[in-house]
A and B are shown apart, each in its own frame.
Chain A
Amino acid sequence: DQQVKQNSPSLSVQEGRISILNCDYTNSMFDYFLWYKKYPAEGPTFLISISSIKDKNEDGRFTVFLNKSAKHLSLHIVPSQPGDSAVYFCAASRADGNKLVFGAGTILRVKS
């Protein structure tokens, strides 16, 4: 039973345009959400996070939006750059646990 779902296995975007990566979750006990970025042959690196008390968090070109009623979050990258090409994982955690639950990942390709 996948509690965190990334339904798009891949996304292709032109350089300079917006990339939107989506994530849905089923567990209403999740209260903290993170995005990780992973290049081939490297470990995932933390990108941005959002607490359930917020609906938006911004860090430079990266913005995460949270819609709690829809149990949906999204990562916006504006403008997209070729170096953003990577696998992006959405993850969620509960207030009463130390574990993260990850989605399957979305491969982003930014074409120049």
Chain B
Amino acid sequence: DVKVTQSSRYLVKRTGEKVFLECVQDMDHENMFWYRQDPGLGLRLIYFSYDVKMKEKGDIPEGYSVSREKKERFSLILESASTNQTSMYLCASSFPLGTGGETQYFGPGTRLLVL
């Protein structure tokens, strides 16, 4: 079974703090993704990575950065947390497109509250 784990299920941070969200997958997937889920907006892609040290902006990258130093690990960084970044953050991974990459596998999510 594919397993995608996220470092925290719940986080409470203060405005201006630096926040690290970590994601680890054990299926040797090349692709990894960070989404945020908000009511009525579905899942919106923040960043994705198709290889170690490679990253590409998604639809809403502002206020976020990412790091992928190892294939199995993809980190999302909020340099200076703001209240509008309160959300559910979901990590996913997949094989490259054409090799089953159409299906992404998700972690359990991190619910972040920024006060």
Contacts and interface: CB of A to CB of B under 8 A. Distances in A.
Interface string B90-108: 1010101100011111111
Interface residues of B, number: 29
Interface string A21-49: 00000000000101010000111111001
Contacts of B92: 43
Interface residues of A, number: 25
Nearest to A101: B45
Contacts of B44: 102
Given A34-B102, A43-B108, A98 B42 contact: no
Interface in B62-111: 90, 92, 94, 96-97, 101-109, 111
Contacts of B103: 34, 46, 49
A89 B42 contact: yes
B43 interface: yes
B97 A100 contact: no
Interface string B16-52: 0000000000000001010100001111110010100
Contact of B102 (A36, A43, A45, A49): A49
Contacts of B43: 44, 89, 91, 102
15 contacts: A6-B42, A34-B103, A36-B106, A41-B111, A42-B109, A43-B4, A44-B43, A45-B106, A46-B105, A89-B42, A91-B43, A93-B97, A95-B97, A100-B102, A102-B35
Interface of B: 4, 9, 31, 33, 35, 40-45, 48, 50, 58, 90, 92, 94, 96-97, 101-109, 111
Give the 3 A-B residue pairs with the shortest CB-CB distance, closest first: A43-B106, A104-B42, A102-B43
